[in-house]
């Protein structure tokens, strides 16, 4: 099928590359001419504007409608891109928002957009370029089914994506996913902090590797712990106690308060993340480094 991709940062380029590798045609656009040229080098058809992208998709889609994937930052950039798309959309088209939008914003956009709107929570980060993403999708069932060939390509396969429910459900599930991620990172960080400051002189990389081979708590995050200790040393070198991010975790806690669902572990992990901007702890230094592992976020350093 033919796919238009708008937003060619790290994640957008992965959508382009995996779609091309699966045999789909891709028309690509980004405000950065360099990013568009990079996609073209991989085999995408470069567009020089949103209008140009839509014209190229109209030429190739026939009566089936355009299929467009947005991978732009959450917030105003999504609304701005939708405003640019609006004159070119019909009810036969499908627009996917693959960013970390708030689920209520996704519901609003779905109601305001003439095309079918799919909110797609995307997990895995740049480190999943080869393995594929986990995709949590909300929106009309027919639109999800229409996009399934591309979802199969971008995700880890057919089991790596599913329709969670009506509009907003995809980003809702991804929001809670991120809250759980916060709590898991905090748990690993506290455990390794006790090992680091405890009774024995331990090799943290060795501990993480051993746990990852058959232990109950083995996971990809624990693999990233092993990677962090291998590259930074058991004391994490100059990795700073500063954990960035926090918006999706805040949304999770706010929703839990509204629904009167207790989430003490997620709340505490969020509080620790905010407190990391004022203090210094080993557990948060590990969380800082783990964010590089799965998302290639910049590592704050001491000094």
Residues annotated as catalytic are 174, 181
CB atoms within 10 A of CB 134: 18
Closest by Cα among 199, 276, 269, 192 to 229: 192
CB of 101 within 8 A of CB of 119?
A: yes
CA atoms within 13 A on the CB side of 273: 27
Looking only at the bridges linking them, the beta strands covering 116-123 and 134-138 are antiparallel
* Contact between 233 and 205 (Cβ < 8 Å): no
Local structure of residue 199 (DSSP, 8 states): S
CA atoms within 13 A on the CB side of 301: 5
**How far are the Cα atoms of 30, 128, 184, 185 from residue 147, in angstroms, in the given order?**
21, 20, 32, 33
Q: In terms of C-beta distances under 8 Å and separation of at least 24 residues, what long-range contacts does 227-235 make, across chains too?
A: 227/293, 228/286, 228/289, 228/290, 228/292, 228/293, 229/203, 229/204, 229/205, 230/205, 232/289, 234/196, 234/202, 234/203, 234/204, 234/205, 235/196
Give the CA distances from residue 265 to residues 192, 269, 271, 286, in Å, rounded to whole numbers and listed in that order.
17, 6, 10, 18
State phi, psi for 117 to the nearest 5 degrees. -115, 120
Sheet of 116-123, strand order: 45-46, 25-29, 2-6, 67-70, 94-97, 116-123, 134-138, 161-165
């Amino acid at each position: 099928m033919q796919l238009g991709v708008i937003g060619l940062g790290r994640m957008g380029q992965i959508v382009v590359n995996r779609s091309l590798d699966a045999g789909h045609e891709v028309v690509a656009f980004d405000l950065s001419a360099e990013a568009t040229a990079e996609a073209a080098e991989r085999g995408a058809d470069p567009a020089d504007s949103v209008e140009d992208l839509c014209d190229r998709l109209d030429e190739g889609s026939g009566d089936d409608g355009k299929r467009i994937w947005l991978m732009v930052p959450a917030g105003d950039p999504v609304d701005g891109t939708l405003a640019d798309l609006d004159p070119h959309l019909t009810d036969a088209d499908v627009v996917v928002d693959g960013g970390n939008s708030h689920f209520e914003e996704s519901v609003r956009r779905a109601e305001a957009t003439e095309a079918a709107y799919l909110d797609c929570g995307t997990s895995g980060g740049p480190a999943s370029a080869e393995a594929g993403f986990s995709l949590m999708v909300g929106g009309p069932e027919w639109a999800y089914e229409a996009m399934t060939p591309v979802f199969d390509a971008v995700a880890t396969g057919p089991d790596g994506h599913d329709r969670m429910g009506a509009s907003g459900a995809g980003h809702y599930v991804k929001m809670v996913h991120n809250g759980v991620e916060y709590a898991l990172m905090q748990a690993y960080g506290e455990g390794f902090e006790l090992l680091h400051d405890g009774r024995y002189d331990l090799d943290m990389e060795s501990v993480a590797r051993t746990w990852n081979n058959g232990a109950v708590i083995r996971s990809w995050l624990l693999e990233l712990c092993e990677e962090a200790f291998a590259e930074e040393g058991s004391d994490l070198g100059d990795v700073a106690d500063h954990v960035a991010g926090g918006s999706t975790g805040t949304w999770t806690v706010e929703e839990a308060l509204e629904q009167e669902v207790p989430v003490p572990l997620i709340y505490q992990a969020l509080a620790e993340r905010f407190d990391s901007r004022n203090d210094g702890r080993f557990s948060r230094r590990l969380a800082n480094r783990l964010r590089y592992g799965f998302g290639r976020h910049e590592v704050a350093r001491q000094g």
